[in-house]
Structure 1
């Protein structure tokens, strides 16, 4: 379980979860990925490149790549060595270049160069796993999927939103407990919250808009107010 406390974290109640996402929605009414892209194929490539890399590093590479090649045919024409020249600043770029080129070939030959909007065909592409497919389905096609990365895994476990021992457990819990009105944008809300507020070593609990419904006992040591929770829940009664 990914918390900085040895104390067990209990799951949030339905009421707390409702408040949690109402606050995140109010804070960021229109959340979106921080990867730069203009079509489903660019998103697919960017997400594939982002594995074990930062969005910032991916954007620096794709900002140079996409003006030159942003279709399966154009990137395939670069070849592995040509693609490497654009993405060599990204971690694991050798394997990623090979996977992207192979994926482009499959898209051209089997999908008329169109990114498929279903999990089976997406996960059949080299370099596209469960998480990458979830991101593409959610962001490019508006499907209610939940891609759990390190940020979401941490937020889920630390806050009590979705306690789980592994990524799959957290994903399944999130899909089960998040109200339908929030599910489509919840992936982005949780990533951004984990990236900028509920960070790993020094979470900004004193600035957190959901600290009063968070179940992490150590949040008070990082500045969370001790005098809000009861009133907040009474207001929602």
Structure 2
């Protein structure tokens, strides 16, 4: 395949560039497919690097451990993946495996508000602006991923509902937990918080997902929609 037939990341719309997204929003904001796309750099005439990586991950059940078992030759079977790209992916996954061997971390089970608070408290601690994170869960409330969805000012965070459900499908999650912080210190949910929670809860039912909770964080404690009977 010649160079002109490849779709390079720098040729995409700016909003679709994972390198820029990493620089602007941090590494935690990227999906697995977007991180892999940074490694391979370009896709093919038919699909972008991110689309190609989504397809590869889908074939492996969106499981990085299963992806890491692929050899260079197996990765090269995908159109748009040459030997150099395959070697880069294999090397990156091997580094991840070695790091994991140094410190094996068990996926937390987030089956109540206190556990979610303890898990996410350091993420929100002392923030002077709002952030909105979603925790995607597998069966048994085991964490798959926690993703930053939006960040805003002192009392508002933009939330892309379509992006939340796209990620839920990509991670094959069975449920999710919504979280955000109130820099003001108030634990009472706003009308916008309640409306957003209800909208997401209604949408989740259409996709056969469940919203387990929506938790508001402050430096002094937390508020659980589930514990308060609002979910």
Structures share a fold, TM > 0.5? no
Query: For the superposition of Structure 1 and Structure 2, which TM-score range results when normalised by the shorter chain?
Result: under 0.3
- TM-score of the two chains, using structure 1 as the length reference: 0.27
Question: Normalising by structure 2, what TM-score?
Answer: 0.28
More helix by proportion, 1 or 2? 1
Larger strand share, 1 or 2: 2
Higher relative contact order (CA closer than 8 Å, sequence separation 6+)? 1
